Amino acid sequence: MAGRVRIMLVGGGSGGHITPLLAVAHELKKARPKAELVYVGQRGDGLGDIPSQDANIDKSYFVRAGKFRRYHGEGIRQIFDLPTLLKNIRDAWFVIVGICQSYKLLRNLRPDVILMKGGFVGVPVGLAAAWLKIPYITHDSDAIPGLANRIIARWAKMHAVALPKEIYRYPQDKTVAVGVPISHKFRPLTTTETRTVRGKLGLSKFKHIVFMTGGGLGARRLNNAVAACVPKLLQKYPDLAVVQLAGRKLEAELRVTYDTLLSKADRGHVFVEGFITNLHEYSGAADVVITRAGGTSIAEFAMQAKPCVVVPNPILAGGHQLKNAKVLEERHAVKVVSNAVLEENAEALLLPLFELLDHPAEAQTLGENFAKIAQPDAAHRLAVLLLEQVKD
């Protein structure tokens, strides 16, 4: 392949969009070490600095993008909610600005191909790419494609998807199932490796570890539900540690909650982080993981064969997390606690946690069922698809 190869990776708004891009970037650099990888994110993204710090990303740029706010289950009521309407009108202007910025950026950089992972930054970049006739591939991690990818779908060269392609409404001849790209660092750990990782994280003195993540931006309701359960968890398991990935904006709030809720002795069993780059180590060290039902998190923990308690977010557009969780529950791959149940009783997480901590054999079976959906080569397959679009 002669000449410069420049590939653009576009996405943001959540860790579930960013971490798959970085996994693909790793595979692209393995295949084409001299390829220039450019990340484009949304201006103001709270996680936008993460790709810029990755060794495989050569340059980062940010453009304006607008979010169209709509919530699963709210129906027509959303249309008449004045604050939501005003924000949507404002963000429509952001999209126009973003299209202009994206057009200028793409005209100057002229990437060979673009990967659109999701997030609303994909709309201005995708429309500009279509105008300039720059090929791009979309990727969807969930059973229901995101709105941004649906908007730009008609001009896409190809649609890469996580699940069997037949369930998507994309043109079947342009759709290929590749799985969800995840970091190569996610893998099952042996007993010896688990012990080593626990020592590295300063958790070796604890017999049991529960790890909770609400995603890179956090999940306040899930944070508070876990906090409500901690006193009874520590009462039943005095040798247990709880590690919570609270989200950058919610970290300080959760620390104050625990400082108020727990005695000094019990407080030493709880570890709160805002954002971490070694999530695979914390989840790998855990006996049980509590998580939302985003496609990327599911793929990561399935790869580690982790027993998981899943609390799907019910209001995300299209109800895609509800569908993800339902598929997993039907396969006896996870334990599901609905958000509605959790709102009525914050301690509803205790029962599945007790079941998994008290019965290691049941936890192992759950993890093994979960591992059956893992697709370890997804990042490589997506990298190959991108490179196939690069002209000699």
Distances (CA, A) of 357 to 223, 237, 244: 20, 9, 17
The reported pLDDT for the residue numbered 73 is 47
What is d(CA 90, CA 247) in angstroms, rounded to the nearest whole number? 26
The reported pLDDT for the residue numbered 210 is 98
The reported pLDDT for the residue numbered 327 is 87
Residue-wise pLDDT tens digits, 66-121: 665 444 444 445 555 656 666 656 667 888 999 999 999 999 999 999 999 988 99
Q: Is the pLDDT of residue 188 over 60?
A: yes
The reported pLDDT for the residue numbered 85 is 61
What is d(CA 223, CA 240) in angstroms, rounded to the nearest whole number? 18
Q: Is the pLDDT of residue 2 over 60?
A: no
Q: Which residues contact 8 (CB under 8 A, 6 or more apart)?
A: 37, 38, 39, 40, 106, 109, 111, 113, 114, 115, 125
Token output for 167: 């369930």
Residue-wise pLDDT tens digits, 204-250: 999 999 999 987 666 889 999 999 999 999 999 999 999 999 988 89
Of residues 392, 383, 388, 391, the one with CA closest to residue 115: 383
Q: What percent of the chain has pLDDT over 90?
A: 74
Q: Which residues contact 122 (CB under 8 A, 6 or more apart)?
A: 10, 11, 65, 116, 138, 148, 149, 152
User: Rounded mean pLDDT of 166-175?
Assistant: 95
The per-residue pLDDT of the chain, averaged, comes to 91
Q: Is the pLDDT of residue 156 over 50?
A: yes
What is d(CA 97, CA 87) in angstroms, rounded to the nearest whole number? 15
The reported pLDDT for the residue numbered 218 is 62
Q: Is the pLDDT of residue 176 over 60?
A: yes
Token output for 122: 């994909």
Q: Is the pLDDT of residue 338 over 90?
A: yes
Q: Where exactly are the structural domains of the chain?
A: 6-183+376-388, 191-371
In a 13 Å sphere around the CA of 13, the CA atoms on its Cβ side amount to 19
The reported pLDDT for the residue numbered 90 is 63
Is the Cβ–Cβ distance between 44 and 155 less than 8 Å? no
User: Rounded mean pLDDT of 47-73?
Assistant: 82
Domain 6-183+376-388 class, CATH top level = alpha beta
The reported pLDDT for the residue numbered 213 is 95
User: Rounded mean pLDDT of 339-368?
Assistant: 95
User: Rounded mean pLDDT of 59-66?
Assistant: 92
Q: What is the biggest distance separating any 2 CA atoms in the chain, rounded to whole angstroms?
A: 65
Q: What percent of the chain has pLDDT over 70?
A: 91
The reported pLDDT for the residue numbered 41 is 95
Q: Is the pLDDT of residue 255 over 50?
A: yes
- The domain made up of 191-371 has a fold known as Rossmann fold (3.40.50)
Same fold, 6-183+376-388 and 191-371: yes
The reported pLDDT for the residue numbered 363 is 98
